[in-house]
Amino acid sequence: MPKKTNPVTQKSGASINIVLTAIVLIVAVVVIGGVLLLNRGGNSQNQATPGETVPASVLQPQNSNMISKGPEGAPTLVEFVDYQCSSCHTYYKQVTSKIEKQYEGKINFVVRNFPLEMHPLAPTAAKAVEAAAMQGKFEEMYHQVFDNYQSWATASSGKPSDDKQRAIKQFETYAQQIGLDRDKFRADMNSPQVEKQIQQDKADGSEAGVQGTPTFFLDGKKINFSRGENPLQGMRDKLDGALAK
């Protein structure tokens, strides 16, 4: 004769299983969250919180590369950029190149390096721009790198290129076009001074809470665009508001 199952015991056992499963899931979430927090890097505790004003010493240290310089007390726009980042290139074409022309001489426009690991040629491009800056041609190389983006940054597949030799050849061509000493340019690209500058930019960006590119700050506050907001008009509105103060 088949043994009868006690419905009360059966229900109780199912409830216990559900509770145990929930506990296991909660513990797993806590453990994974802890691991992710630890892996964010040693300076995560010093990162700026959302809405906090980041000090100028972090965002705009002395001798920062500038696209535009305004009068004393002018608003300061800071961009953390990855030159191989397709979003940075899109923003350059649709937003920052227009802002640069419209607000030239009215605002300080500072550009900092933040090459991401997912873009294999971003560090090389940053070195090219910094090497040009050492000969007083930062702005010119900044434009060359973005204006000729497709010739070095993307592969035939449309994905980010990892062809470092091709990129360096292109950057050396740009250096010649903008009147740089090519031998000095090559030496500076591989110099400890340029590498140190890029690493300092990245460290400052991390301290300011930068996680992706492009990231903008206006007078120390991170710029966030609303969903559906036109970035160009949004940037203009924010800059006009800062200029009106």
The Cα–Cα gap between 107 and 71 comes to: 7
**25 CA to centre of own chain:** 34
Q: Closest by alpha carbon to 196, among 110, 117, 126?
A: 126
What pLDDT, on a 0 to 100 scale, did the predictor assign at position 43? 36
pLDDT at position 48 is 57
Each residue's pLDDT, cut to its tens digit, for the chain (245 residues) gives 444 444 444 444 444 554 454 444 443 433 333 333 333 333 333 455 557 899 999 999 998 999 999 999 999 999 999 999 999 999 999 999 999 999 999 999 999 999 999 999 999 999 999 999 999 999 999 999 999 999 999 999 999 999 999 999 999 999 999 999 999 999 999 999 999 999 999 999 999 999 999 999 999 999 999 899 999 999 999 999 999 99
Contact 208, 52 (CB under 8 A): no
Q: How far is CA 22 from the centre of its chain?
A: 38
In whole angstroms, what is the distance from residue 96 CA to residue 139 CA?
13
Q: What is the pLDDT of residue 34?
A: 38
Element (H, E) at 215: strand 215-218
Residue 78 has what pLDDT? 99
Q: What number of other Cβ atoms are within 10 A of residue 211's Cβ?
A: 12
pLDDT at 51: 72
